[in-house]
Amino acid sequence: MEQTIDKTKPVLVTGASGYIANWIILDLLQAGYTVHGTVRDPDNQRSVGPLHKLAARAPQGRLQLFRADLLEPGSFDAAMEGCEVVLHTASPFVIRGFDDAEAALIRPAVEGTRNVLEAANRVASVQRVVLTSSVAAIYGDNADLQEIPRDCFTEEDWNFSSGVYHQPYSYSKLLAEKEAWKIHDAQSRWRLVCINPSMVCGPALTPFSQSTSIDTLRSLGTGKMWPGAPELRMAWVDVRDVAQAHLEAAFRPDANGRHIVSNGELSFLQVAQILKRHYGSGYRFPVFELPKFVVKWFGWMLDSSVKPKFVERNVGHAICFDNSRGRKRLGLEYRPLEQTFVDHFQQMIDDGLIRA
């Protein structure tokens, strides 16, 4: 069913300070929208400083910031007032540096989604909610591909292999998206549209994001993966294309359901080879793939998230996502991944996050 969104009404973006949200907000402002952005701490310059710069760069639109915390019921109501569209991006994307996955990932993801969507139930202006879910809600490990009846994951698939102790970030995204559909199905005013990106890369508009996206590409430039990288294939997508997908999901009259937003699968070594072509020998890029048993038994020494079960079920396994629904229904076109990685690496050099 077609649903027309009033573009003169403000648009809410939760987690405004985030890596993906920054690009969504820039696109919205450049298109002349009024954006209500939520941040946990409006006095934290690392969160709001880059947002003020975005607002200055795009004077066509207007940005207003509100304080809201995923774990505080009711804290999103004021920011949502008068909005027809809610873009819910806020959720922690960390895979290491915590002991308690429930507190670090699962509660903020699930309770946060519940709090935002219950606010949407209370605020009568809301017509559409776009949830930044993830391919992590669709699959858990690369090995899961062998257990589905198709060659590639599609929007029909749901992650069946993650849990609190194995791939807890993916588990948090699965539970959050399930919760969103449950709350959506119990009402009839607003429509839910999900964006399910793969690993997002591309230049950040803030040097302060804690997103695992930043760490992932950065680890190729800091020498952490020198001389060898795991034989790990991942699906990748540009942050600017992900932002575009959110805008399409927000304003297309017939948008609905889930959308895999992903531009192809490459191993770490292949990404390193792209960067090496552009940056030569100035950085210690990996030059070969490590044998799986080495990664399995010694990988954790370099990275606490590299557990033997993760290695067993991901390293050396193929991965594939069918992005045709997003291309067709949201009109998505992807920029070349080579440009994504090079632009991102250059931004990290410019911001001092990587040194030659």
Q: Distance of CA 78 to CAs 64, 72, 120, 248, 266, Å?
A: 12, 13, 11, 25, 43
As measured in angstroms, the least distance from the Cβ of 194 to ligand NAP is 10
Cα gap 226→118, rounded to integer Å: 47
H or E stretch covering 298: helix 292-302
Q: From 89-97, 142-150, 154-162, 344-352, give the range in contact with ligand NAP by CB under 6 A.
A: 89-97
- Cβ pair 47, 208 in contact under 8 A: yes
Nearest to 297, CA basis, from 288, 309, 284, 286: 309
Nearest to 173, CA basis, from 285, 252, 258: 258
Residue of minimal Cβ distance to ligand NAP: 18
Q: Which of 35, 200, 243, 249 binds ligand NAP (CB under 6 A)?
A: 200
Cα gap 296→238, rounded to integer Å: 29
Which CB sits closer to ligand NAP, 92 or 286?
92
Place of tokens 């997908």: 245
Cα gap 113→12, rounded to integer Å: 14
Cα gap 215→169, rounded to integer Å: 15
- Cβ pair 108, 91 in contact under 8 A: yes
Q: How many residues bind ligand NAP (CB under 6 A)?
A: 28
Which CB sits closer to ligand NAP, 204 or 290?
204
Annotated catalytic residue: which of 7, 9, 173, 292?
173
Q: Which of 27, 51, 54, 91 binds ligand NAP (CB under 6 A)?
A: 91
Is 209 a residue that touches ligand NAP (CB under 6 A)? Answer: yes
Residue 309 known to be catalytic: no
Binding mask 105-124 for ligand NAP (x = CB under 6 A): ---x----------------
Is 39 a residue that touches ligand NAP (CB under 6 A)? Answer: yes
Which CB sits closer to ligand NAP, 3 or 339?
339
Which CB sits closer to ligand NAP, 89 or 296?
89
Which CB sits closer to ligand NAP, 127 or 213?
213
DSSP 321: B
Three-state DSSP at 38 gives strand
- Cβ pair 118, 46 in contact under 8 A: no
DSSP 124: T
As measured in angstroms, the least distance from the Cβ of 126 to ligand NAP is 19
Is 230 a residue that touches ligand NAP (CB under 6 A)? Answer: no
Binding mask 133-162 for ligand NAP (x = CB under 6 A): -x----------------------------
As measured in angstroms, the least distance from the Cβ of 139 to ligand NAP is 12
Residues forming the site for ligand NAP (CB under 6 A) = 15, 17-21, 39-40, 47, 69-71, 89-93, 108, 132, 134, 173, 197, 199-200, 209-211, 213
What residues are labeled active site?
173
